[in-house]
Amino acid sequence: MDDLKTIVLGTEYDNDLIRKLKQILIDKGGKIVEEIKGIGGSQEFKQYSVIIDGVTLIVEIETYIGVSITGPGFIVNGIAHQIKGR
């Protein structure tokens, strides 16, 4: 299995990016299995665990950090490439 990789895809307020990412995950058959949301001071944090073909991906949306995705490199790279192509 590939090593885990994290890619920051863009800013946390880029609703178009978030919409594209959500659609790509749905198209790949992704299912959210865990959702964590929180606020600390001026920061908001959302974390989603998504299963695609038995593999877990972590999607995080965090103030000042952005939208990131973590998982096996080949999957994360593929999703990042798809987002850039949309």
Q: What's the pLDDT score for residue 86? A: 66
Handedness of CA 11, 13, 14, 15 (dihedral sign): positive
- What does pTM read for this prediction? 0.90
Strand (E) or helix (H) holding 46 = strand 43-52
pLDDT tens, the chain, 86 aa long:
459 999 999 999 999 999 999 999 999 999 999 999 999 888 999 999 999 999 999 999 999 999 999 999 999 999 999 998 86
Q: Which residues pair with 56 in a beta bridge?
A: 51
Residues whose CB falls within 8 Å of the CB of residue 78, separated by 6 or more in sequence, listed in order: none
Q: Which residues pair with 50 in a beta bridge?
A: 32, 57
Mind giving me the DSSP string for 21-44?
A: HHHHHHHTT-EEEEEEEEEETTEE
The structure tokens 């990789």 sit at 5
